[in-house]
Structure 1
């Protein structure tokens, strides 16, 4: 169980970052905001993060490419992808890589809350 959980929110849309941050903070999480996958990957705060919420489609490195890079470097974190236009292929690739889910924008607060509560309880396997 995570006592002081921190979620990293990676999205190129500032309004989405702020809204998602407000939601996760209201659920008792700390939040760190990143405008790009590159910015997140360059941060030295990856190892104390409990979960990632990331847009799939962003300029530069996509959310899925970012997640693959993390996995390749041995970083295994629960990730929730969000997307306005996720195809079946992207959803399948994300889930096969180990993502908890791919949620559609606008994000359903109740559904996101359910996923974060499971992460906080250390029960990410129950989400699949």
Structure 2
């Protein structure tokens, strides 16, 4: 195991959640997956997340808005955004931390793992 850090994956696409869960666990990380922003926000996830990997476009609330909501609650979690639509990305408002990275789907596993290592080191 890398450490006790927990990585949260929020994506409404089950295949993406399963793939990232498998990849991250096989790389030695503790992982929790969430099917949407409300599921994540209404769980204990924000309290225990060390790094958040979040889709931008989701039906109930986009990932950037969720990141801003977390900041409004005083929770500044390092986030890596992933998206199937790169034109959907925008910078969060000034109260939220700048994202670590934006990755278009499909993305480089090596680059994603390098970003996670940077966050956790």
CA root-mean-square deviation = 1.7
Task: Supply the distance in 2 between the matched residues of 1:21 and 1:73 (Cα, whole angstroms).
Answer: 27
Match of 2:118 in 1: 118
When residues 59 and 68 of structure 1 are mapped into structure 2, their CA distance, relative to the original with a 3 A threshold, is same
Match of 2:30 in 1: 30
Number of residue pairs aligned between Structure 1 and Structure 2 = 118
CA deviations on 1:74-110 (whole Å, 9 max, x unpaired) are 00111000001122x724x149741101001012100
CA deviations on 1:37-93 (whole Å, 9 max, x unpaired) are 010000023211111000000001110110000011100111000001122x724x1
Q: Where in structure 2 are there 5+ consecutive unaligned residues?
A: none
> Deviation of residue 16 (structure 1)?
0.2
Task: Decide whether the 8 Å contact of 1:95 with 1:101 is kept in 2.
Answer: no
Task: Decide whether the 8 Å contact of 1:94 with 1:102 is kept in 2.
Answer: no
Q: Where in structure 1 are there 5+ consecutive unaligned residues?
A: 122-128
Task: Supply the distance in 1 between the matched residues of 2:49 and 2:61 (Cα, whole angstroms).
Answer: 20
Q: Which has the higher helix share?
A: 1
When residues 57 and 27 of structure 1 are mapped into structure 2, their CA distance, relative to the original with a 3 A threshold, is same
Task: Supply the distance in 1 between the matched residues of 2:119 and 2:82 (Cα, whole angstroms).
Answer: 16
Task: Supply the distance in 2 between the matched residues of 1:95 and 1:3 (Cα, whole angstroms).
Answer: 31
Moved over 2 A (4+): 94-97
CA deviations on 1:4-40 (whole Å, 9 max, x unpaired) are 1111100000000000111111221111010000100
Task: Supply the distance in 2 between the matched residues of 1:5 and 1:26 (Cα, whole angstroms).
Answer: 15
TM-score, normalised to structure 2, is 0.90
